[in-house]
Structure 1
Amino acid sequence: MTFDQPKTLAEAGPQTGAAGATIEFRGLQRSFGNVRALAGLDLTVGRGELVALLGPSGCGKTTALRVVAGFEHPDAGEVLVDGEDITRVPAHRRDAGMVFQSYSLFPHLSALDNVAFGLRMRGVGRAERRARAGELLDLVGLPDRADRYPHQLSGGQQQRIALARALALRPRVLLLDEPLSALDARVRLTLRDEIRRLQQELGITTLFVTHDQEEALSLADRVAVMNAGRLEQCAPPAELYARPATAFVAEFVGVMSRVPAHADGAVVRVLGRTLPIDGDPAHGDVDVLLRPESIEVVAAADGSAQVLGAAFLGAVTRLSVRSAAGATVKIDIPSHVAATLPLGSRVELALPERPVLVAPRKEPARSSSRPPHEEGTTTMGVPRSG
């Protein structure tokens, strides 16, 4: 099966864009020397769906994207689009548009000509391709920048031009390789919303690669968390956060504290309470994984825990508290309540009566000379994985 584009825009379908396609990865494997980038990846992306590939550097997410684009060929496995095997179809014959992290605009072409470049390569007439490029510039909010060259545009504007260029050929698959990582925070938020609006409006099936969990959770219909070339879990953002399938997902997505505990079958004893285990029974020493909003903290002069640090996050403040067992846990409480708990305060910790996730006991890392509130974190407070 090949994906040759129509020669004219009239043949390409309505102005709202082509219908999205399904994408299926079947047992994809890819190695670079001794490094295994993909280790049997299985994943299906629905028609018109936006799926974010999320994971630390080196997990295989960009390799998976490049396999769909045709820039990499797997050592084993298949990629199917609408049920047809495209694993060996050349990149230029795949119905896919790609936006890179580095914009990759032609410096000698105007914004309009950059957007129209793919149409020109497909033999679309000058008047028609300029009209279509103009429509796309309007779509991405840059109709007044048509004659500007890349060096005359901001980073956010250049990435909008790159997005418009990827959409010009009406692809059924849109591939985004960390397109926002080079932008400042304010522009990144604005463009993130624009990408989601356009994707939903045009109905394009989209794969979005990122290592930023906040970006993935706020943008995607489903988030596919990858680790060491394998898929750990693929689920809607709320499910991924509330019901992580593995300890890796639990700790990579959002903030999670490990608290030493003792399991006895279907229950576990933690922070003075016996709670049901969420998942398979366990026995012996384990760690209970707790979200910062799931732990309650109460001031107590003779409390068994102590406040070590605080990070103001607006409406809430994230406390670092050392438990009686010696574990440092993160706890989110209203900022006006946190103001009554200065550093060094004695407190008691409590948990609500609901199932908790457990994982094999993990030995604590060697203590750092930096106080807890100075540890490097991502935008959602998870230690950055590189």
Structure 2
Amino acid sequence: MNMTATIAGPPEKATATGQAATVEFRGLRREFGSTVALDGLDLAVRPGELLALLGPSGCGKTTALRVLAGFEQHDAGAVLVDGQDVTRVPAHRRDAGMVFQSYSLFPHLNAVDNVAFGLRMRKVSTGKRRERAAELLDLVGLGDQGGRFPHQLSGGQQQRVALARALALRPRVLLLDEPLSALDAKVRLTLREEIRRLQQELGITTLFVTHDQEEALSMADRVAVMRAGKLEQCAPPAELYGRPATAFVAEFVGTMSRIPGRLHGTTVEVLGRRLPVDGQAPATPEVDVLVRPEAVHVAADEHGDARVLAAAFLGAATRLTVRLADGTEVKADLPTHEAAALGVGTTVRVSLPDRPVLVAER
């Protein structure tokens, strides 16, 4: 069952200065026996924003969401909503709605009654709760499906019903726990656009847990990348991709190649030239330079020391896999019309643009 708020008012539009809440995790720690799920997590969510929690399995992102929802108790730290510690507030009184990966609809109730269930628990009259449920189903594009039962709906439609149910009591915080992962690719794309549209229209503070970086980057105002229970970086998608704070973020978000280099103070020697180092450099002189595929330049050169191994058509761009003289494999994205002249086996020269690069320990 989804966790909903105790507000009995109609589903009105939220605003960043009224309905939408601030959420803050302060030094949050949660242990399961010898496993540390959250290790001093510090993170603040702004009113009305959609913040994605992104990271590999076991990084603590779902645990953080469940602690905020009240389904898990943390061992140390605090969870604040609008500046108030909600540690001792039970789940059903936390002004939040939650949508799960598994839909969690009641099979014996039709769509209208599933959406209206929380309102029934709050003793809202039958007429009012059915009217409100119908309005919410219309909001999520299912206005004509209210009489259908879960088994009569597609996976995407069931998830829309679950979303409407989470919104039924006008929560100030919406929690989404990998709600799209069980859907096929086309439905997932459509529904993530719909969720984003609704979230912006309602102005509701939203935490979205996902392991899918494309989902996070395309939907969120900011993305918080987690690793081993800690926050690695929290930033808008473009900044996270273009200016990753750590080597882990750089390699987890998007595609990244490692090219051997050697440090010389604040510069690094790589592919026969010196480039400035972006951020703090490791203590060891032997490092790897981290580069995105779109930053790698590849040109045919019969005297070059690299060779094209493979080409993957991506539409407007083609991704080449190039092997350097030392055996290092590098990904490079080129316009498809340019890559057409660089077939597998072509001898090429690889270079990087004259701009700062991120380096990591080898």
Under a length normalisation based on structure 2, what TM-score does the superposition of the two structures give? 0.96
C-alpha distance in structure 2 between counterparts of 1:281 and 1:67, whole Å: 36
Contact 1:59/1:229 (CA < 8 Å) preserved in 2?
yes
C-alpha distance in structure 1 between counterparts of 2:135 and 2:281, whole Å: 58
The superposition leaves residues 162-194 of structure 1 with CA deviations (integer Å, 9 ceiling, x where unpaired) of 000000000000000000000011110110011
Match of 2:13 among 11, 16, 19: 16
C-alpha distance in structure 2 between counterparts of 1:71 and 1:47, whole Å: 22
Contact 2:5/2:171 (CA < 8 Å) preserved in 1?
no
Question: Is the counterpart of residue 94 in structure 1 residue 91 in structure 2?
Answer: no
- Number of the residue aligned with 2:268: 268
Give SS of 2:163's match. Answer: helix
Q: Provide runs of 4+ in structure 1 moved above 4 Å.
A: none
C-alpha distance in structure 2 between counterparts of 1:201 and 1:208, whole Å: 17
Pairwise mapping of residues 244-263 of structure 1 onto structure 2 (< 5 A)? 244-263=244-263
- Number of the residue aligned with 2:41: 41
Identity, % of aligned positions? 72
- The offset of 1:281, in angstroms, is 4.3
For structure 2, the residue ranges without an aligned partner over 5 or more in a row are none
- Number of the residue aligned with 1:357: 358
- Number of the residue aligned with 1:155: 155
* Matched letter for residue 316 of structure 1: A
Pairwise mapping of residues 228-243 of structure 1 onto structure 2 (< 5 A)? 228-243=228-243
C-alpha distance in structure 2 between counterparts of 1:257 and 1:232, whole Å: 20
Contact 2:5/2:170 (CA < 8 Å) preserved in 1?
no
C-alpha distance in structure 1 between counterparts of 2:243 and 2:5, whole Å: 42
C-alpha distance in structure 1 between counterparts of 2:353 and 2:303, whole Å: 22
The superposition leaves residues 246-284 of structure 1 with CA deviations (integer Å, 9 ceiling, x where unpaired) of 000000001100001100110000011110101124551
* Matched letter for residue 332 of structure 2: I
The superposition leaves residues 135-185 of structure 1 with CA deviations (integer Å, 9 ceiling, x where unpaired) of 001000001100000000000000000000000000000000000000011
Q: CA RMSD in A?
A: 1.2
Q: How many residues align?
A: 355
The superposition leaves residues 314-372 of structure 1 with CA deviations (integer Å, 9 ceiling, x where unpaired) of 111111101123210100001121111111111001111100000001xxxxxxxxxxx
- Number of the residue aligned with 2:83: 83
* Matched letter for residue 29 of structure 1: R
C-alpha distance in structure 2 between counterparts of 1:280 and 1:215, whole Å: 29
Query: More displaced, 286-295 or 18-27?
Result: 18-27
C-alpha distance in structure 2 between counterparts of 1:249 and 1:47, whole Å: 25
C-alpha distance in structure 1 between counterparts of 2:60 and 2:108, whole Å: 34
- Number of the residue aligned with 2:347: 346
C-alpha distance in structure 1 between counterparts of 2:63 and 2:268, whole Å: 40
- Number of the residue aligned with 2:316: 315
Contact 1:25/1:43 (CA < 8 Å) preserved in 2?
yes
For structure 1, the residue ranges without an aligned partner over 5 or more in a row are 362-386
C-alpha distance in structure 1 between counterparts of 2:83 and 2:45, whole Å: 12
Contact 1:267/1:281 (CA < 8 Å) preserved in 2?
no
Question: Is the counterpart of residue 324 in structure 1 residue 325 in structure 2?
Answer: yes
C-alpha distance in structure 1 between counterparts of 2:352 and 2:76, whole Å: 47
The superposition leaves residues 23-68 of structure 1 with CA deviations (integer Å, 9 ceiling, x where unpaired) of 0000000111111100000000000010000000000000000000
Query: More displaced, 86-95 or 203-212?
Result: 86-95
